[in-house]
Amino acid sequence: MLRSMNPVNGKIIREYAEHSTEETTSIINKCAEAQKKWAKSGFDIRRKLMKRASEILRSKTGDYALMITQEMGKPIAQSRAEVLKCARVCDYYAENADAFLSSEQVTTEASESYIAYRPIGVVLAVMPWNFPFWQVFRFAAPAIMAGNGALLKHASNVTGSALMIEDIFKEAGFPVHLFRTLKLPGKKVAQVIENPLVKAVTLTGSVGAGRAVAAKAGEMLKKTVLELGGSDPYIILNDADLETAVDICVKSRLINSGQSCIAAKRFIVVKPLFKDFETLFVKRMQDMVMGDPMSEKTFVGPQASLSLRDELHEQVVSSIQKGAKCLLGGTIPDRPGAWYPPTVLTDVNPGMPAYDEEIFGPVAAIISANDEADAIRIANDSVFGLGAAVFTADKARGKRIAETELQAGCCFVNEMVQSDPRLPFGGIGDSGYGRELSYAGIREFTNIKTVYVK
């Protein structure tokens, strides 16, 4: 059984029967059949249906947001924003897919030669719980507009969200089996990858899950796109606007109650600003409201599960035992549910979980740097490379650091790292490979075909 539990109180929301091996095979077969026909459809048809999906998301935002909040504890205002972002990505690819996948003429000795972008077939998506709608739509909108079929193996605790997403595509008028949810535990993903009708896999999740999926897909010679963990560094230089930098840093650290791959996690501050940053940062973190995720005033809700909360606390305790100083939070509240307060650690150094590992929760690590060069060194001292940001009054300086110095897939200047349908999204190192969103994302799951006519 797959189980959804409310992290506010630990109570079971609903249990779902897993698909049997026979049911899973049938779903894959039907998706493949639907995809063959869908691949022959024109962009006008695809555009109309994807626009309809966007309309459904907008008209039922409240229903979908409620499911997100109930299943994983996201504050309700952020849940609504997530649903509306899904509508935007549907609109974006409905309006741009045709241009992104248009054939490109290339001059050669042939009478005609060009590059064509053709659908690859059925793509399996293994998705996480932290953005249960957005992670799916940022894959599904481009993949389906490219002419592919989609199978979703969602995190077990957000099965209700997964089934709602399937219903959105059906209600929008897409072929019934073109997008299907597989109700399976993680241990059965390998069997799906082995199915010859599944042509590629995309995963957003942990490094361990990424390695396992990439290994199985590699064995089967199937393409993968992986968006894994992150330990995003935010550099605050001596000429930064302190108030603005702190406000952005706090928001980034606490968005989704700290449970985001691209949340700011390591704050690297040059010495002239260090004490002032530390003081203001703690105050702003202390001001953030932790409470009922159904309240409009709440910015920090519970963690998604008790086990995740406990793992987070172990990282905090271990960091403190190894010399970090706790300036705020750091204790488990005496109340039911998976709660963890905004927490600030300072004197963070290599060898501590807060320095070396991804901290997936509302815990900030403040690190002192001697100067710009030292700050860049510390920022790059990580196995991860998803996002990074730098704060400086000198935009040229910030641009140079972002483009040429920081080792990450998404580098921002004077702003929090965030995904945008118009820009490629992805990382390097243990943060994975491949790109989602923009023109790069829709082309990932196409056959980039050379056509040569003599």
Question: ∠ at Cα 314 (308, 78), nearest 5°?
Answer: 40
Same domain, 71 and 124: yes
- Identity of the residue numbered 41: S
Asked if residue 422 belongs to a domain, the reply is no
pLDDT at 109: 97
In a domain, 419, yes or no: no
User: DSSP assignment of 146-183, as one string?
Assistant: TT-EEEEE--GGGHHHHHHHHHHHHHHT--TTTEEE--
Is 261 in the same domain as 222? no
In this structure, the answer to whether residues 296 and 181 fall within a common structural domain is no
C-alpha to C-alpha distance for 167 and 178, rounded to whole angstroms = 11
* 272 and 406 inside one domain: yes
| Same domain flag for 241 and 283 | yes
Report the distance separating Cα 416 and Cα 353, nearest Å.
23
pLDDT in tens, the chain (454 residues): 999 999 999 999 999 999 999 999 999 999 999 999 999 999 999 999 999 999 999 999 999 999 999 999 999 999 999 999 999 999 999 999 999 999 999 999 999 999 999 999 999 999 999 999 999 999 999 999 999 999 999 999 999 999 999 999 999 999 999 999 999 999 999 999 999 999 999 999 999 999 999 999 999 999 999 999 999 999 999 999 999 999 999 999 999 999 999 999 999 999 999 999 999 999 999 999 999 999 999 999 999 999 999 999 999 999 999 999 999 999 999 999 999 999 999 999 999 999 999 999 999 999 999 999 999 999 999 999 999 999 999 999 999 999 999 999 999 999 999 999 999 999 999 999 999 999 999 999 999 999 999 9
Name residue 213's amino acid.
V
In angstroms, rounded to a whole number, what is the distance separating the alpha carbons of residues 2 and 62?
24
> What does the pLDDT look like over 411-436, one tens digit per residue?
999 999 999 999 999 999 999 999 99
What is the model's pLDDT at position 354?
98
Tens of pLDDT, residues 221-260 = 999 999 999 999 999 999 999 999 999 999 999 999 999 9
Q: Which run of H or E residues covers position 345? A: strand 343-346
The pLDDT score that the predictor gives to residue 302 is 98
Q: What is the CATH number of the domain that holds 256?
A: 3.40.309.10
Is 91 part of a structural domain of the chain? yes
Residue 97 located in a structural domain: yes
Say what the pLDDT of residue 236 is. 98
Residues 209, 246: one domain?
Answer: no
If asked whether residues 185 and 261 sit together in one domain, one would say no
Phi, psi at 328, each rounded to 5°:
-160, 140
Question: What's the pLDDT score for residue 96?
Answer: 98
Task: Quote the longest CA-to-CA distance of the chain.
Answer: 75
Residue 348 lies in a domain: yes
437 and 318 within one domain: no
Number of domains the chain is built from = 2
Per-residue confidence (pLDDT) for residue 290, from 0 to 100 = 96
* Sign of the CA dihedral with 79 first, then 81, 84, and 90 last: negative
CA distance 265 to 359: 7
Task: Could you list the beta-strand ranges (E) of 240-331.
Answer: 264-270, 325-328
How many other C-beta atoms can be found within 10 angstroms of the C-beta atom of residue 224? 22
Residue 327 has a pLDDT of 98
Shared domain for 278 and 150, answered yes or no, is: no
Whichever domain contains 171, its CATH number is: 3.40.605.10
CA distances for 251 relative to 35, 316, 417, 442, angstroms:
41, 20, 11, 30
Contact between 2 and 14 under an 8 Å Cβ cutoff? The reply is no
Which H or E element spans position 73?
Answer: none
Residue 33 inside a domain? The answer is yes
If asked whether residues 407 and 440 sit together in one domain, one would say no
Q: For residue 423, is it within any domain?
A: no
Q: Rounded distance, CA 175 to CA 150, Å? A: 11
Q: Is residue 418 part of a domain?
A: no
Q: Assess whether 209 and 267 both reside in one domain.
A: no
Instruction: State the Cα torsion 346-348-352-354 to the nearest 10°.
Output: 60
Domain carrying residue 346: 232-383+387-413
In angstroms, the CA 213 to CA 203 distance is: 8
**One domain, residues 250 and 373:** yes
State if pTM tops 0.95.
Answer: yes
C-alpha triplet 341, 345, 347: angle, nearest 5°: 175
- Pairing state between β 179-181 and 112-119: unpaired
Residues recognised as catalytic: 227, 261
